[in-house]
Amino acid sequence: SKATLFDKGTRVNITFNDVAGLDEAKVEVMEIVDFLKNPKKYTSLGGKIPKGALLVGPPGTGKTLLAKAMAGEAQVPFFSMSGSDFVELFVGVGASRVRDLFKQAREKAPCIIFIDEIDAIGRARGKNVMMSNDERENTLNQLLVEMDGFGTDSGIIILAATNRPDVLDSALLRPGRFDRQISIDKPDLAGRETIFEVHLKPIKTSPNLDIKKLASMTPGFAGADIANVCNEAALIAARKGKNQVEMEDFNDAIDRVIGGLEKKNKIISPEE
Ligand code: ATP
């Protein structure tokens, strides 16, 4: 989620092994990774490689992580921007930043461009609450111009993330733009268990830690919440001077994270 405006062609060493669960989404994105690695194989019969895909799902479920892992697997540079960074920009700045980003990406192709929170700039007319409509439309128009401006053989794949596909301007979803949607859902019980396994790896835990139990205690948690629990538990145990993290520390950490989630839900007023 912390894609910065100027993540300019970074090399990432995140792979699919870092992404727990999301098995169906992984199968779909593996195909896109293969497009990046072997474009000729796909275009040889006259087919067109898709330019972009929309990753759809609630916050903290691993959309950014998966996009980075795709760049890591394909061994291509990762460019990113976040739609929310375009809020409150001066007139014209949003469009020129989009132009800059694509210019740099073209120079480093094959590559991946990731646009987090695309709904902040990609909302249908009249539905944006955050940005003046003129400026939002300028930014969105520039994005559409850039997407139409390169051929499907350019080696640039544009991924965008949103939890509100319903509010997106239909122009974004037309063929040749974000015409594929990949859904990234909150993990089920088994998914939470594998996410715990990933995030427990660096942590010194007691040997009788019950990971299945941790997964069953965290219904509704996204991957980001689980990462948070593991970190909190390690800090709680360290504060107590322990040399390993025990089940009771995880209990406390889960309570704390649930408290934080409740607070967040109270502060943020419902959208629309
Ligand atoms: P947002 O919509 O808020 O941008 P996101 O869906 O992009 O969220 P990420 O930023 O990818 O979520 O996830 C945040 C962090 O949560 C990741 O860096 C990772 O530590 C953890 N995480 C989320 N999902 C997973 C997962 N499936 N496997 C492992 N870790 C995960």
State pLDDT tens for residues 101-154.
Answer: 999 999 999 999 999 999 988 877 655 555 556 777 888 889 999 998 877 678
Helix residue spans in the chain (DSSP H): 23-37, 39-43, 63-74, 93-108, 119-122, 133-149, 189-200, 211-216, 223-239, 247-267
pLDDT at 271: 46
Q: Specify the residue with its C-alpha closest to ligand 1, atom 3.
A: 59
Give mean pLDDT, residues 89-100.
80
Beta strand pairing call for 78-82 and 7-10: antiparallel
State the pLDDT confidence band at 90, using cuts at 50, 70 and 90: low
Q: Which atom of ligand 1 is nearest to the CA of 67?
A: 11
Question: Band of the pLDDT at 94, cuts 50, 70, 90?
Answer: confident
CB of 195 sitting under 6 A from ligand 1: yes
Q: What whole-number distance in Å separates Cα of residue 237 and Cα of residue 234?
A: 5
User: Using 50, 70 and 90 to split pLDDT, how confident is the model at 191?
Assistant: very high
Q: Residue 202 phi/psi, 5° resolution?
A: -80, 0
Which residue owns the Cα nearest ligand 1 atom 19?
224
Confidence of residue 184 (pLDDT cuts 50, 70, 90): very high
**Binding residue ranges for ATP:** 57-64
- Banded model confidence at residue 11, pLDDT cuts 50, 70, 90: confident
Which pair of tokens denotes residue 19? Answer: 């992404």
Examine the pLDDT at 241 and tell me if it is beyond 70.
Answer: yes
For residue 272, name the pLDDT band (cuts at 50, 70, 90). Answer: very low
Mean pLDDT of 220-243: 97
- For the CA of 57, the nearest atom of ligand 1: 6
Annotated binding site: 57-64
Q: Name the least confident of 69-73, 142-146, 147-151, 229-233.
A: 147-151
Give me the chain's average pLDDT, please: 87
Q: Are 222 and 186 in contact (CB under 8 A)?
A: yes
217-238 core/surface letters (b: 16 or more CB in 10 A; e: else): bbeebbbbbbbbbbebbbebbe
Cβ(65) – ligand 1 distance below 6 Å: yes
Q: What is the pLDDT of residue 132?
A: 59
Is the pLDDT confidence value at 33 over 60?
A: yes
Q: What one-character DSSP code corresponds to residue 221?
A: -
Reported as a pLDDT band with limits 50, 70 and 90, residue 25 is: very high
- 21 CB near ligand 1 (under 6 Å): yes
How far is C-alpha 20 from the geometric centre of its chain's CA atoms?
14
pLDDT (0 to 100) of residue 86: 72
Q: Is the CB of 22 under 6 A from ligand 1?
A: yes
Q: How many residues does the chain have?
A: 272
Q: What is the mean pLDDT of residues 1-28?
A: 77
Ligand 1 centroid vs 212 CA: distance in angstroms? 20
69 lines ligand 1 (CB under 6 A): no
Q: What is the pLDDT of residue 260?
A: 84
pTM: 0.88
Whether 184 and 214 have beta carbons less than 8 Å apart is answered as no
Banded model confidence at residue 262, pLDDT cuts 50, 70, 90:
confident
Q: Whose CA is nearest to atom 11 of ligand 1?
A: 62
Ligand 1 neighbour 19 (Cβ under 6 A): yes
What ipTM does this complex have? 0.95
Q: Mean pLDDT, to the nearest integer, of 190-217?
A: 95
d(CA 14, CA 257): 26
